[in-house]
Structure formats: structure tokens, C-alpha cells
Amino acid sequence: MPVATPHLRVDLGRLRRNVRRVADQAAAAQISLRPHAKTHKSLEIARLQLAMGARGLTVATVGEAEAFVRGGCTDVFIAYPLWVDDARAERLRDLAEQARVAIGVDSVYSAANLGRRLGGTGVEVLVEVDSGHHRTGVRPKETGEVARAAARVGLPVRGVFTFPGHGYSPGAAQEVVAAEAAALRQARESVTAEGLEVRVLSGGSTPTLAASLGGAGAGGSAHGVNGVDGTGGVDGVARITELRPGVYVFGDAQQWELGTTEPDDIALTARATVVSHAGGRVVLDAGSKVLGADRAAYATGYGRILDRPKARIVSLSEHHAVVEWPGRRPRLGTQVDVVPNHVCAAVNLADSMWVEEAGRLRPWPVAARGLNS
Amino acid sequence: MPVATPHLRVDLGRLRRNVRRVADQAAAAQISLRPHAKTHKSLEIARLQLAMGARGLTVATVGEAEAFVRGGCTDVFIAYPLWVDDARAERLRDLAEQARVAIGVDSVYSAANLGRRLGGTGVEVLVEVDSGHHRTGVRPKETGEVARAAARVGLPVRGVFTFPGHGYSPGAAQEVVAAEAAALRQARESVTAEGLEVRVLSGGSTPTLAASLGGAGAGGSAHGVNGVDGTGGVDGVARITELRPGVYVFGDAQQWELGTTEPDDIALTARATVVSHAGGRVVLDAGSKVLGADRAAYATGYGRILDRPKARIVSLSEHHAVVEWPGRRPRLGTQVDVVPNHVCAAVNLADSMWVEEAGRLRPWPVAARGLNS
């Protein structure tokens, strides 16, 4: 029985190639890779990443951490400034008995709260730094104050982290990676001034990955020239020691349009069917409940058609994508592969991704789907 | 144990009041109500709607139809121009043995395909008409041609339907309801000219509901003045006989901003926690993976705060909502209720909605979540 459309398809060859390529590049650059698993939410893909050398996983929520630890991962970083109440503290203590666990913190107030509930449990913290995205994270110079507050209440400080989300803009990568490096360097100085060690400087994202790996790191070549090693360095110079990209495993239409993924590397699509020619249009059965409704300012539509780079999804509702299709329209019933704008959102809508192996379609569960808390 | 944030909360009193009010209004207007269950995807809410007089349910996919028929609903209309292959035909035939089933069709080509696979099975069709939304649906004058094609291949034609989606615009409702009525009237004329009966003229949506129920129906008062009854009418005049609103059960920020829902009637929110004050901001843990990423052109943000009408969600990522909060910021750890822009998208992200009954929180499963095919 064929799998009904719309559904998500994974190209296993491309997926493996993407995972391998970034693992090799990070290894060559002597930077740890801790991929963000919120993109795929899949135990199969997490195992692939770990087998190819990732040192652990990044996740966004305690629920995701639980799913991946249950699936065998022994090292998770919840890169989020969690507010921890009694119930969440209990879950984190349970996790810390099974795996190496770190969480984010971005205020003195929150550090004090964490200390009351998690001090001495082995849960480590990284202080979140705002490197220009202006979402969460302290100003670099305030990092030491938060680190000191955490250390004082029994929370080991592993280091500092940032998310360079302002790199999601055309042509921004080099400048953003420089800002990220500067922020992490300042943060490190601020923490070491408190007499605390900074073992990890963590950053990165898929659109800035090439810039990070290409040597635009903080104050030195990413390849370790000048003897900088991330934990100390020459003349107080530090470079990023850990990268946390997520989307690179699949790619998506955002990366395609940012120029950071080639269409030939895109490993996840929504298989859809042409259901209507009304008004001369091409309407597909993959809508926002399959693709997600993300549409960045730079996006040229609500997703792309993998084999038709000139086609554009000009409107999207829950179960309809209206496509401007150049040339001859595909017949009703034709199946086409749609590249979602933001793959993390699309995966989180599906219970399974379908993977072709040895000529057969197999479902890979989206094990951490919907685990937002 | 409290339910961790972020999670969806349903106010049962408001929900019941919304369901009751629209049921009463439709009954007073002598218009059938066939609510769209894609909004709530919940057996509990479907049963409430049916108990209060809905004549059946509308759904968007075969998977949703299966879930609601399995849950006891005996009359489903899949308001979608399905492309039916062998596998989907088998599922529809199974459904038709358990319930009254109708589907949409919007081309002669598709009618012929349906006929080959479903002719004589009892599955009925409604021809979809474009009343100005320009998504799917034939032009009104072409309706008869599609109806004839369906009837010829053994598909009973129940009537015609439209979705007035262009009513999702401030101040558009009256004009859109008039256009909807005109399109359905023309469609009816086109079908009856083929010697076929039109038993159902189906339309409606939440933003146009008041206009539909207030008498702006096709060619006559919605209250049945002038003796029009929808199946025939005076001087060839027909009025809408069936309404398919979905969002009215909960309301959402879109309806709030369109002026079609009062904040006091909003029955679903995302309970979120303030997790960061970085940079003086208020950051909540409910992001696009909980609220959805929908943002209509008229929206003032990515969702609203129920008890703070002047607050605005100015940016949204997967696990963060950044709020411009007037006056004194809520402390870290404070819980607030966020109204999603588009409630259908938010519900489809969650496995459960949490309902307070007799002082206890109970999960209502989102039974048809993710059933997009």
C-alpha cells in the first residue's frame, strides 16, 4: 500500500552525506559538534550523528532531553534558559542520574532559583549570551555576574553559549559570526574575571556554519593556527569550541534561499498531490499543517518545489498550497516534492518521516514530536 | 503534579457557551450547522456540537473523517476536492459502510476519476464553487458541468459548497457573504439547469458567521422570511442551507482582531511561563511549536495575551515569544495565557488540551492531530 499524501520523505543518502560532511568539517576544525536535535526529533538521526562523532546533543526542552536520553543519548545540553519549578527540577534530577545534563541560564535571579532546586545534583549550566539576536541571553559583560551566582549555589559552570539567530538573513553570515565570536570572547573574559574557568564556548547555526568552520571564529583561525585551543588561548584570545547546528541534516527552503544549502543536498520533502486546477491554478494537498506557516521576510514563497526551482507557493492554507507553476501544469493526481521553508516546523507536525531503504518505505518516528515542555 | 508549560488550556464554560450560542442562532435561522472539526480535532467537542444540534461534521481529510467516525459520528462531509487513488478509495468505501459520507469535487476530470472508484458506493459529492477566495472551486457557472459529470458516473450530487476565505479581512464580512450567496445561487442555477436537484447550499466561516446568520444570505432573510427554504425558494431565489464554521468554538487572536470574537469568549489559550528578562524584554516559553507561526497581514503580532490587551508578541521563534509588555513586567516564573493567532494551527501541534473540570485538570486528546492524509 503506498503512503498517502501529504507525508514527509527523507532521502537517506543525502541525509547521511549531510551528517558526515559537517562531522568531518568540524573534526578538521577541531571544534566539537553538538547538533540541535529539535530539527529532526528522531532517535535514528541522533544515533547517526553520535556515531559520526557528535559529542552529544543539543535540545530545547526537558521533554526532548527525556526522549533522547530514553533513546540512549548520554550527554544532552538544553540550550534554553529554563524556568525550573519543583516538577521540572524533579525531571532534571532524574535525567542527571542517567546522563550528563547541562541547561542554560541568563539571569542572576534564575540562577538563584536553579541553585535552590538543582544545586549539587550534577546538572551543569552554561550562561546564555546575547550576540546580537536580541532574544534571550545576557549582555556579554554581565556573563560573569550570572556565572558567579550559579557557581555560588552549587551549579557547575561549563561555559557560555549563544545563538546567532540574526544570521538568518541573506549575506549576514560573516558579520554575524564575527559578532558571535566577539560576544563569546567578552563573555569568557567576564567569567574568568570572576575566577571561574570557561571550558566551552558554544555557538553556531546552520546558516553561519560555513563561516564558523571557515576560520571566522573568535580571534583566530578555526583550524587552531596560533595555538588557540578554546580553553585558554594566546593573549586572552578564545575561539568557539562547540557548534550546535540543527537544520544542516535536512536543509530547507530557507537555507536554499539563503544560499547555504544546495537543492541537491535537501534531504527532506513533503510529498504532495496536485488536487485542483481551479482557475488555472496548481493546488497541492500539502498546506500549513504539513509544511508549517513560517515565512521569513526574505522568503520568496511558502516553500519550494524541489525539481522546479522557478515554481513558487504563492498562498498557503491548512490543507492547500497554491503554486505558480512555470510551463505546463502537472496533471491532477501528480505527486510532487515540496521543500518546507523551515524544516524544524514541518517535522514537528508529523508523527513519522518516511525513509526509503532497499526499495521499501519505512516510517521513522518523530520521537520527540510535540515535547515542548 | 501541575501540568508543565507550555500547554493548551480550554475554558469549558466558554467553550460550551460558544457551541450553544451558534447552535441556537443557526436553529433560529433555520440553517443547518455542520461545524468544521479540523479546528478542535477532539471527540469530546464533536460530541458536544452534535448533542447541541449539529447535523454532522465537516472535516478536511479522510484521516480526520476516519477518526470522527471511529469516535461515533455518523455523518461527515470532507469539504475538500480529494484526489482519490485506489488506497484512498478503499478507505472511503470502508467509511461509507459506517457513516453518511460526502466529499468535494471541483473538476470534470476529478469527477470521472471519482466515478471509476466510488460510483455506486453511496459516497455523495458536493461541487466546490469559488465565491471569491480563489483557492479551489469551479466558477459558479461551471458547476452544472461538474455536477452532471459526477451524476453520470454514479455519484449522487448532494449540492454545492464554498469557503468564503476572503472573509478573513477586517470589515469584509458583509460583502463576502453577499458574494458567497451570489456564487451559490449561480451554482444552484447551473446545476438545476442540468436537471439535477440541489439539496444543500453549504458555506460559512467564523468571521462571516454573524453576517450569514444576520440575514445577509443569498437573496433573502436568513430567518426564512419570504418563504425561501433553501431547497427551492421564491422566484428561483435560494439561500444558504448549511454553515460550516470551525474556529467559533474557541475563538483566537485573528477573530479578536477581526472583531468577530470578544476576548471574554476566547476558550483556548496556551499557558506559558516568563523565562527571561534579557535586555529588559519579557520572553515566554510558548513559541511557534505551540502557537503556530500564522501571521495574517492584519495581525498586530504573533498572538495576544488574554488579560493584557495592550501587550504584543513582537517576535516568535520555536520556543520563545518576545512580548512588548506595557507597564510593570511580570516576574520570571509568572504564568500567562497566550491567545494563538490561528487556533486550528495551535491545536494541531498538541497531543492534548487541558480542561479544568471540578477543580481538576484533565487531558482531552487531540484525537485527529496530524491526520493530514
Contacting residues of B for A4, CB less than 8 Å apart: 62-63, 87-88, 373
Contacting residues of A for B285, CB less than 8 Å apart: 80, 83, 373
Measure Cα distances from A109 to A142, A146, A344, B137, B276 in Å. 13, 9, 31, 57, 10
Contacting residues of A for B341, CB less than 8 Å apart: none
Taking an 8 Å cut-off on Cβ atoms, the answer to whether A83 and B135 are in contact is no
CA–CA dist B62, B101 (Å, integer): 10
CATH fold of B253-365 reads Lyase, Ornithine Decarboxylase; Chain A, domain 1 (2.40.37)
Can you give the pLDDT at residue B361? 95
Interface test with A, best of B83, B282, B295 (most A CBs within 10 A): B83
Instruction: Locate the domains of chain A by residue range.
Output: 12-249, 253-365
* Residue type for position A15: L
pLDDT in tens, chain A (373 residues): 789 999 999 999 999 999 999 999 999 999 999 999 999 999 999 999 999 999 999 999 999 999 999 999 999 999 999 999 999 999 999 999 999 999 999 999 999 999 999 999 999 999 999 999 999 999 999 999 999 999 999 999 999 999 999 999 999 999 999 999 999 999 999 999 999 999 999 999 999 999 999 853 333 333 333 333 444 343 444 589 999 999 999 999 999 999 999 999 999 999 999 999 999 999 999 999 999 999 999 999 999 999 999 999 999 999 999 999 999 999 999 999 999 999 999 999 999 999 988 889 999 999 999 999 9
Asked if residues A329 and A282 have their Cβ atoms less than 8 Å apart, the reply is yes
- Which pTM value belongs to this model? 0.94
Find the angle CA(A197)-CA(A242)-CA(A102) to the nearest 5 degrees: 65
Can you give the pLDDT at residue B226? 34
Among the listed residues B85, B19, B14, the one whose alpha carbon sits nearest the alpha carbon of residue B57: B19
3-state helix, strand, coil in chain A (%, to 5): 35, 20, 45
Contacting residues of B for A117, CB less than 8 Å apart: none
Q: Tell me the residues of chain B between 250 and 289 that have a Cβ less than 8 Å away from chain A.
A: 273-279, 281, 283, 285-286, 288-289
Can you give the pLDDT at residue A221? 36
Q: Tell me the residues of chain B between 71 and 110 that have a Cβ less than 8 Å away from chain A.
A: 80-83, 85, 87-88, 106-107, 109-110
Residues of chain B with pLDDT under 50: 216-237
DSSP code of residue B88: H
Joined grid coordinates for residue B195: 436537471
As a CATH number, domain A12-249 is 3.20.20.10
Helices (H), B43-166: 43-51, 62-70, 86-98, 108-118, 143-152
Cβ-Cβ contacts under 8 Å for B323 (sequence gap 6 or more)? B281, B282, B283, B284, B305, B311, B312, B313, B314
CATH architecture observed for domain B12-247: Alpha-Beta Barrel (3.20)
Closest chain A residue to B289 measured between Cα atoms?
A345
Can you give the pLDDT at residue A215? 52
Can you give the pLDDT at residue B217? 37
Contacting residues of B for A289, CB less than 8 Å apart: 345, 348, 370, 372
Instruction: Using DSSP, state whether A261 is helix, strand or coil.
Output: coil
> Phi first, then psi: what are they for B338, rounded to 5°?
-100, 135
A206 CB-contact burial (10 Å; exposed 0-12 / middle 13-18 / buried 19+): buried
Interface test with A, best of B318, B334, B366, B369 (most A CBs within 10 A): B318
